[in-house]
Chains A and B, each alone.
Chain A
Amino acid sequence: MALLTADWNPLGREAYYRKFEVYSMGWIDQVNLQDLKVTVAPSGGPIAVVRDDTKLTPVQTSGKPIIFIFSPSGELKSTIKWSGGKIVEIDWSSSEELLCIQDDGSVSVYDIFGNYQNSFQMGQEAREMKIIDARTFPSSTGTGLVVLTTNFRFFVVNNIKDPRIRRFPDIPGVNIAPSCWAAIHGDDRQTRVIVAKEKDIYLLDYSEQHVAQKTPEISHHHLSIIAMAVSPCCKLVALLTDAGVIWIGSFDFRRKFCEHDAQCMLPAVQLVWCGSGAVVLNLGSVLLVLSPNRDNFTLILDSTSHVCPEVDGLRIITNSSHEFLQKVPLPNQEIFRIGSMSPGAILVEASREFQKRSHRAEEYIRLVKNQLEQAVIQCIQAAGNEWQPSVQKMLLRAAQLGKSFLFDKVDSELFVGMCQTLRILNAVRNYKIALPLTFQQYEQLGKTGLLNRLILRRQYSIAIQICQYLQMSEADGIPRVLTEWACYKIKHGLGKLDAEQLASEISAKLGTGSKVSYSSIALKAIECKQEKLAIRLLDFEHRASEQIPLLLKLGQEPQALAKAVESGDPNLIYYVLVVMKETYSADKFYMTIRHYPSVNALYAKLCRTIQMGSLEQIYEQEDNFNAQAILSVKDSYRAQKLENRSAMLTTAVKQYRQAKAEIAASLTEDQLKLLKTQSGYESKFGCPVIDVSLNDTLKLLMRRRDIKETEEMVKKFKVPERRLWWLKVTTFAEIGDWAELEKLSRLKKSPIGYEPFVDVCLQYNNVTEAQRYLPKVEEHLSIKYYVKAKLYTEAAQIAFQRRDTEALHYVQSRCSSNRDAVDMINSLIAKLANPSESQNKR
C-alpha cells in the first residue's frame, strides 16, 4: 500500500490531498505557459491558449492574435486566427463553447473545433464605454457572463443562450478601478458580484439594486485586496492582500477562519479553491495549499502552471503534464491509510491473500464478518475514485470476494453499475478521446451529458458503443447520435459531395428504421441552405406529420400534398390545403388538387361546411355540370323568394342540359311549371299550395271538384292514366264522394283493377260500397278480398265452389273468433274431403 499513499499530503489531521498525473502533455516542448493566457473548460474540457498581451514577449508575428485549442492531453485541435477587435477575455461555457469577449462588448462563440457558432452583444453602454474585464460563471440555466466597463459598471447575462442584459448597481466611492472581483451564482439563482476596491469590499446585487459594504477583519497590514475566490459550495471566501496574506472567512465576511502570511513574491498568479476544503495559491511553479484551519503544505511543480478548479478538485496544467489535485475521497482514505483497520482495508487484505491462495484470507474475512456489507460498499466506492485500472481491478476483486459471502444482501446493481461506469470512464479517459472525468464529475454530467460531450468531439463511434453498452433508450440513444452524425455530415460534407450522394450516404448509414428523425436532419440541411438535400432527405422520413411541415417550409406544396394523401390523415391534408390556399393562385390550386380525387372530395366538403372556397368554382373548373345543377337545386331551396328559386331552377335546367341529364332537366322544368301554377292557385284559393307535390296538387283540385283545372294539369304534366285513376280513387274515397267513385268504375275498364276500389272503401269502413266492386276483383284475389271485407261466408262459398280446401282453411284462420263461420267452413271442408258421403246423406 505504501505505493498508493506515497503522493498523499496530509492537511491537518483528518484530510489527505493527493496529486496524480492524468496525461503527459502532447504539447511538451512546444508550449510555454509563461507567455500565455490559458483557459480550461470545466469537467475535463479542452484548453484554449492565447498570447498574453500583459506579458512582455518577443514578438514573432505582428498584428492579430491566434487562439489555439488543445485537448486535455495537449493535442492541438484547432486554431482560430483572430480578426476581430481587441480580446479582453476568452473563456469556456459549461457546454464547452469558447467565448471570445471583445472590448466593445461583443461576444463571439466558437465550438471546440474553432468553428464560429454565433455572437451576441453586452449592450450599448458596454459598446460605447468599452469593457476592461469579463468572467463567466455557471448558472442554473447554463452559463452566465459578467463584464466590467471602463466606467466601472458591471453588466450580466444569466444565460448566454438567451442574452438578456442587466446592470448592477454602481460601486460607491471614488471612481477607480476595482482591484479584484468575482461573480457568483448561488442556489437561490441570484447572481451577485463581490468587488474589492483597494481595501473595501462590496457585494452587488442587481435584482434588488442593492450594494452592501463588507469589512473583513484582516489583522495584517495591507493596502488593497488583489485576488479573491469563492468556494464551490458558495459558503467560503478567500482573499489575498497586496502584502501576500491569505484570509479565509465566511461568505458574509463576518467570520474569519484563518489568516496566513504566504510570504510570497507577488504578484501571485492564481487564487482558487480545491473543492471546498482548501484554498490553493498558485505562484507559478509552486502551489500553496491552505485549509481554513491554517494547515498547509506546498507542492513544487516542474514548470509554470495554470490551475483550473473542478467540483471535486483542481486540474493543474503545466508545460509537460496535466495533473489532478484532490482531497482523497473518504472510502479510499479508509482503505489505504497506513495502519487502517477499516472493514474495507481488511477486505482488501483478505482479497490479496486469497489471490495468493493463502489460508489467511479466511482469517481476514472472519475479522470483518459483521461489517462485510460495509466493506464491500467501501471497496466499490473506492474503486470508482481510482484512476489506475489496476487499482480499480484490485478493489473490485476485493468487493467481489466480499459479496460472495453475503449472498443477496448486497445489491449487485451497485457492483455491476460501478463496473460499467468504470469501463466507460476508462474508455473516454484514453488520451485520444481525452475526457479526463472523475467519477464525481461523471455523476454530475450524467449519461446524456457524456454523450453530448462525445458528440461535440465528433466521437460518434464510441458514443454509439456506449449507447449499446448501456442499452440506452431509443429517445436519447443511438438514433440521436446517428442524427447528430448526419447533421455534421451535412455541415461538413458540403461542397465535397452533391446532394444526391450525401443523401444516399446518410440513408445508407441510418437505414430506414422508424427511430431516426430524418426530418430533424433535413431541418439542419435547410439551415445550411441545402434545400435540395433537405427535400431528398425528407423522402426517407415516413412520419408524415414530421415530413409535411418541412416540405411546406421548403415550398414543396405538391410533394407535401402527395405525402399527406399517402398518409390518409385528413388533418394533414387540411393543413396542406390551408397553406396552398394562401400561397397559390386559384387556378394553380385547382390544378394541383385535381390529381387527387380524395383531396377534391375533402375540399368540396370543406367548401360545404366551413366555406373554405366556393363549390361552384370547383365544379366549373371540372366542367362538372351535373354537380353544378345539383348545387343550383340545393341553393334554390335556400331562397326566400319564389322568383329567386325559379331563377335558380332555371339555371339548374340549363346545367342539367349541359350534363346531358335529360330526365333531370325535364323534371326540373316540370317543377318550374308546377311552381308557377301553384303560385297562381295560391292567390286564387287563398291557401298554401306551393311546394306540395304534383300528385297532391291534383288531389287538391279534385277535392275542390275543379274538373277543368284538373284536366288541364293532367294534360300539362302528361300524367299517366294509371296514376290518374289512383289519384281519383283515393281522393273520392277521402272526401266520401261514393257516387263519383262509382261513376269512375263504370267509365271504362279500370287500368288499375278494382282491388284499389275495394281497398279505399274498406279504408273508410264502407263495406256496402266495397261490395259493389268485390265481384269485379280479379279471380285469384277475390277470396282474399272478401276476407278483407270480413265477408267470410261469401269467401268460403267461393272457395267451396273452386273446391279449394287450402283456401277454406285460410278463410277459417282469419275468422277464428266467429264461431258460426268456423262451423260452417268446417262442414264445407268436410264436404270437400268426402263428397260421396255428403251426397249419400242427401
Chain B
Amino acid sequence: MAHLSAGKVNFSTLRELARKDLVSLLEKFNGTKAIFWDEELTGPIGLVAEYSFLKELDVVKMFQLKRGRIPSVAVKNILFITRPQIELMDCIADNLHCEENQGHSANKEYQLIFVSRRCAVCEQRLKDKGVYGTLTSIDELPVDFYPLDSDVISMELDSVFKDLYVDNDTSSLHQIARGLMTVQSLYGIFPNIVGKGRHVRNIFELMTRMRRDIGVDCDPPMSPLFDTLMIIDRTVDLVTPVVTQLTYEGLIDEFYGIKHNTVKLPGEKFQAGASGGQSPRSDDNTVKSIVLNSAEELYADLRDKNFSAVGTTLSRKAKAISAQYEERHEAKTVSELKQFVAKLPQMQATKQSLALHTSIAELVKEITISDAFQEALQVEQDLLNGIDTDKVCPYIEDFICKQEPLTKVLRLICLQSASNSGLKPRVLEHYKREIVHAYGFQHMITLHNLEARPFTVIRRALNLTVDDVNEITPTDISYVHSIYAPLSVRLVQWAAKPGWKQISDVLNLIPGPLVQETQPISMDLRSYIHSSIEETKVTLVFFLGGCTYAEISALRFLSKRDDAPTDYLIATTNITNGENFLNCLSETLNNSLV
C-alpha cells in the first residue's frame, strides 16, 4: 500500500486510522470471531484491511450476511458488520431468530457494528423484531473515507445523489460533513472552503457546527496541508456523468465497471501466458479480477490518457523493454551482468504489466471500433455540439425501437435535454411514450425520477466543446471526452485562474449558490501557512454526488501542468459513470401477479 503515500498529502494515514479504529473495535471482543459482512462493505473495507490483517485479530471465518440460518462455526463472537439499512436489520433479526431456535445463542456473543454510524431507526427495528437484547453490544466503525489511490479518496456511497436530489433526503450530508471532519483531523483545518451548488452551504455549516461542538481549542495541532476544500455539487454539472468517457481508465469503467479499484474481465483473454500484472486472482476461468491502481507504474501512466494514445504508448514501452533485454548482450564484465540481473525482476514485472494492459486494451478496442459504439458516440457528440437538439432525434428513436439498453437511450436523452436547456414538452412526451411502449410501463417511475433532476442550462459560452483536440499530447482537459471539457473541472480550473470573481456572470448561469468561506485558524498554526507559501498549494476537490474517472483524469492533467497554480487531490462520495448514474435513479418494479 506504499503507493497511497506517494501523493502530495499522505492518504495512507487515512487508511491507518481506519485500521486503528478497526483494531480497537475488534479487540474489545475477547476470543475468536466470525464476521458476517454486509456484501456492499467487503469491497470498501477491503481497501483498508485485508483478510490476513483481520486474521491476526482472531477473525477465523468470514461470511456474507444473508437471511436464514447462519453456518455453524465454533467461535466465541459473531460479528455483524453492516451499513445502517433496514433490510439488513431484518436479515440479522432472521439470523438471530434461527440461532435462538437452534439453541446456539447460549454460548456465543453477538455483536453488531455499524459502518459508519449507529442508527436509531435501525436499532428500533431490531427492538421491534425482538432481537435487540440478544446482541451483546452495538458499536460503530467510523470509517467514512476510503483511500482509493495516492490522490483519490472516496466514501463509496452510491446512493447519495438519489437521496439528495430525488428523495430530497438530506441525511447523508451529516455523514459527509463528519467524514470531512475526519479528513480535517488528519490533515489540518481547511483554511478556505469554497464551492458551488445546492448543498454546499449545508455542508459548510454542518462542519462549522461540528468543529464548534468538539471545541475550537481541540483543533488538530498541525498546520493545514490543504489550502482549500472545493465542494462541487453534482447538480452543477449533470452533463459530464452521462457523456462517454474516452480515457483508458474511463473506458474500462464504462465497459466493465471498476468497483473499489477492482475490475472483473472476461477470463479467456488472459490465459496462462498473458497473465501477470498486479495481483491477479482468477475467481474462475470465466472471470478475472484485476486490481487497478497507481502501484502499477504502467497503469499510472496509461490510465489518464485518451484511449487513442494508449496504443502508441504501449508499443513504445514494449520497444523500450525489449531494448532493455537486449542489453544483456552488451554486458561483458561480471559486474555489468550483475547489474543486469538486478534489474531483471523489475523488467519481468514491467513485461507482465505490458502483457496485461495490451490484453485489456484489445478488449476495450473491440468495443470502441464497433458500429454500435461509434454510432452512439457520433450522436452524443452531435448533441454536445448542439446540432438539432430541439427536435426528436431519429437516432434515439431508432435506438428505442431496436430496444438498445435503456440506460444508453436515457443517457442520450439526458444529454439532449442538457444541451438544449431542457426538452420541448412535445419532444419529451414523444420519448416517454416510445420508451414506455418499448420497454414497458414499469419504467414510468424511473422516468419520473429523471425529471426530478433539475436539467442544467449549458451554454456554448462556457467553452466546453472544443473543436481541434489533441488526443495524444493534450493541451486542454477536453481530451478526456475528445471534444468536451467537463464543466465541473472547468469550474475548478477557473477558480484558480482567473478566479471565480472574474466569471461571476457565467457562474450565475449555473444552478445553486456560490460559497466562499474561510475558517478561522489559531495564530500559531496560521504562521506555518505563511512559511510554506513557497510550496505549491494543494486543493481538495470534493464531488458531492459522485465523479467520473474522466473528471479525475482531467484534474490530474491540471495538476501536472507546469504553470499549475495549485495541486488537486480528489475526494468524492463515489465514483460513477453514465450507467451507474442512471441506474441509481431507476427504480425496478417487479410483477407480482399470480
Interface of A with B (CB < 8 Å)?
513-515, 542-543, 566-571, 574-575, 578, 597-598, 600-602, 604-606, 609-610, 626, 630, 633-634, 637-642, 645, 663-664, 667-668, 670-671, 674, 690-696, 717, 719, 722-723, 726-727, 730, 752, 756, 788
Contacts and interface: CB of A to CB of B under 8 A. Distances in A.
B440 A692 contact: yes
A604 B212 CA distance: 31
A634 B593 contact: no
Contact of A601 (B167, B212, B442): B167
A717 B593 contact: no
A45 B401 CA distance: 94
Nearest to A572: B120
A569 B434 CA distance: 43
B593 A645 contact: yes
A566 to B, nearest CB: 8
A694 B435 CA distance: 10
A578 B120 CA distance: 10
Contacts of B433: 663, 667
B199 to A, nearest CB: 10
A752 B215 contact: no
B589 A601 contact: no
Given A610-B125, A634-B589, A639-B592, A598 B206 contact: no
Given A514-B212, A610-B86, A693 B120 contact: no
Q: Output the residue of A513, A663, A756 with the most chain B CB within 10 A.
A: A663
A598 B164 CA distance: 9
A691 B448 contact: no
B29 interface: no
Nearest to A604: B167
A508 to B, nearest CB: 19
Contacts of B168: 597-598, 600-601
Given A634-B589, A663-B433, A601 B169 contact: yes
Given A605-B169, A640-B592, 10 more contacts: A514-B213, A571-B117, A598-B168, A610-B125, A626-B448, A667-B432, A668-B444, A670-B436, A671-B436, A693-B440
A626 B449 CA distance: 12
A371 B117 CA distance: 61
Nearest to A671: B441
Nearest to B440: A693
Contacts of A730: 401-402
B592 A610 contact: no
B496 interface: no
B589 to A, nearest CB: 4
Contact of A726 (B169, B174, B402, B429): B402
B440 A691 contact: yes
B158 interface: no
A723 B392 CA distance: 13
Interface string B422-459: 00000011001110111111101100100000000000
Interface of B: 86, 117-121, 124-125, 128, 167-171, 173-174, 177, 202, 206, 209, 212-216, 371, 394, 397-398, 401-403, 428-429, 432-434, 436-442, 444-445, 448, 589-594
B209 A542 contact: yes
Contacts of B402: 726, 730
B179 to A, nearest CB: 13
Contact of B444 (A667, A691, A695): A667
B215 A514 contact: yes
A752 B439 contact: no
Q: Output the residue of A515, A566, A602 with the most chain B CB within 10 A.
A: A602
A663 B433 CA distance: 8
Contacts of B118: 571
B212 A610 contact: no
A602 B444 contact: no
Q: Output the residue of B125, B206, B401 with the most chain A CB within 10 A.
A: B401
B593 A605 contact: no
Nearest to A664: B444
B429 A727 contact: no
Nearest to A697: B437
A733 B433 CA distance: 25
B403 A695 contact: yes
A756 B394 CA distance: 13
15 contacts: A515-B215, A567-B174, A568-B174, A568-B209, A569-B174, A570-B121, A574-B121, A597-B168, A598-B170, A601-B168, A637-B590, A641-B594, A667-B444, A693-B437, A723-B397
A637 B436 contact: no
Contact of A637 (B177, B202, B209, B589): B589
A270 B311 CA distance: 106
A654 to B, nearest CB: 16
A600 B439 CA distance: 33
Nearest to B166: A601
Given A543-B213, A570-B174, A639-B592, A667 B436 contact: yes
A365 to B, nearest CB: 45
A514 B591 contact: no
Nearest to B86: A609
Contacts of A605: 167, 169, 171
Q: Output the residue of A513, A568, A730 with the most chain B CB within 10 A.
A: A568
